[in-house]
Amino acid sequence: MKQKIAALAAIFFAPMAALFAKRDLPCKGSPQALLFAIEQVGKKIFNARSGVQRRSQRPMVGSTLMQRRSIMKQLQDKVAIVTGATSGIGQAAARLFAQEGARLIVTGRRGDALDALVAQIQQAGGEALGVAGDIRSEALAERLVALALERFGGLDIAFNNAGMTGESRSVSELPLGQWQAVLDCNLTSAFLGAKYQLPALRSRGAGSIIFTSSFVGHRVGFPGMAAYAASKAALIGLTQVIAAEEGPHGIRANALLPGGTDTPMGRAATNTPEKRAFVENLHALKRLARPEEIARAALFLASDAASFVSGTAMLVEGGVSINRS
Ligand SMILES: NC(=O)c1ccc[n+]([C@@H]2O[C@H](COP(=O)([O-])OP(=O)(O)OC[C@H]3O[C@@H](n4cnc5c(N)ncnc54)[C@H](OP(=O)(O)O)[C@@H]3O)[C@@H](O)[C@H]2O)c1
């Protein structure tokens, strides 16, 4: 017992004596100096005993902050619908969203491509559910949202990305049926998607809805693409109205405008060396985008990093609109 008291006294009084003897104390030997010394020693003992607490209280700087950011997934615990997920931009976005922690409902017409995507996401430790169907169907739009609620408990993100170009014909030669088919696929499907997605997003009190528009129809008028250009330009109008209507509910709506992208759709439009060179040359960067580059922009719009971004037509087009060479 005596030994314990002696040890405690040594722990307490030795550093106090050292401090007390320090020259820079305000009034060496005064009661204030004694109190100051006791306080300092108390702090030292407390800090020594609670090393973990001290470490967590240190401000995060430099590499510590970067390390923590790098392990935080950008869409952790979010639920997302991605349309046009069987190929190109949608497929790249689905993979990236899953990698960033989102649980996904993915759709496209080709069931085999969907199965392959879902298997790939699951193998990588993600969660995804594929629903094959035609994006022009209202029943599909309703079902995708119902499944998000049923399987994953809600909806946070909708990436309405499916699209088609249609046959290349001048306006005077374009049959009404072909015009209508492109508008149904690119524009009416987006309206139908939003119609069912918005109430689900609203009930979360927040959300991000994204529409894939295009540089075509916004900055470039390509001959033979009237229906495509009209549908993509109209998506920007739809985006703006949704942003205005749903902003008070915490929902952000944005249009994403890719430049020429190296996907089956992009390759179909650049299927000769001459066409490829022409389209590449439209871009300041003199190349097509990789679908992953467009997917990263979709991730930004989907994530909290874009928490004050709404109603925009976001160009991700390699400088088409400023290029004059
Ligand atoms: N590639 C470009 O240069 C470029 C540039 C600007 C904007 N965009 C836009 O980016 C989006 C994605 O295009 P992408 O380049 O990734 O083309 P893509 O590789 O051809 O992919 C198109 C996707 O849309 C789906 N889709 C098409 N019609 C559908 C329908 N009726 N019902 C259900 N799904 C349908 C396709 O799925 P299924 O075939 O399985 O049905 C596929 O998953 C489109 O909206 C496109 O207009 C592309």
Average pLDDT of span 69-98: 94
Average pLDDT of span 278-300: 98
Residue 1 has pLDDT above 80, yes or no: no
Say what the pLDDT of residue 22 is: 41
Say what the pLDDT of residue 20 is: 40
Q: Is the CB of 323 under 6 A from ligand 1?
A: no
Average pLDDT of span 312-321: 97
Say what the pLDDT of residue 12 is: 44
Say what the pLDDT of residue 59 is: 43
Say what the pLDDT of residue 14 is: 46
Ligand 1 nearest-atom number relative to CA 213: 7
This prediction's pTM: 0.82
User: Encoding tokens for residue 59?
Assistant: 């401000």
Residue 216 has pLDDT above 70, yes or no: yes
Nearest-CA residue for atom 23 of ligand 1: 84
Residues 6+ apart with CB under 8 A from 218: 232, 233, 236, 257, 313, 321
Say what the pLDDT of residue 68 is: 54
Say what the pLDDT of residue 66 is: 53
% pLDDT > 90, the chain:
77
For the chain, the distance separating the N- and C-terminal CA atoms, rounded to the nearest angstrom, is: 90
Q: Report which of residues 106 and 2 the model is more confident about.
A: 106
Nearest-CA residue for atom 14 of ligand 1: 88
Q: What average pLDDT does the chain have?
A: 86
Q: Report which of residues 204 and 30 the model is more confident about.
A: 204
Q: Is the CB of 270 under 6 A from ligand 1?
A: no
Residue 19 has pLDDT above 80, yes or no: no
Q: Is the CB of 261 under 6 A from ligand 1?
A: yes
Average pLDDT of span 275-297: 97
The CATH number of 73-316 is 3.40.50.720
User: Encoding tokens for residue 318?
Assistant: 């390699």
Average pLDDT of span 229-235: 98
Residue 100 has pLDDT above 80, yes or no: yes
Say what the pLDDT of residue 325 is: 79
| Residues taking part in catalysis | 228
pLDDT digits (tens, 9 = 90+) for 164-198: 999 999 999 999 999 999 999 999 999 999 999 99
Q: Is the CB of 164 under 6 A from ligand 1?
A: yes
Residue 13 has pLDDT above 50, yes or no: no
Where does the pLDDT of residue 33 fall: very low under 50, low under 70, confident under 90, or very high at 90 and above? very low
What spacing in Å lies between the alpha carbon of 85 and ligand 1's midpoint?
8
With b meaning 16 or more CB within 10 Å and e meaning fewer, what string describes 46-77? Answer: eeeeeeeeeeeeeeeeeeeeeeeeeeeebbee
* Closest by CA position to 256, among listed 193, 323, 210: 210
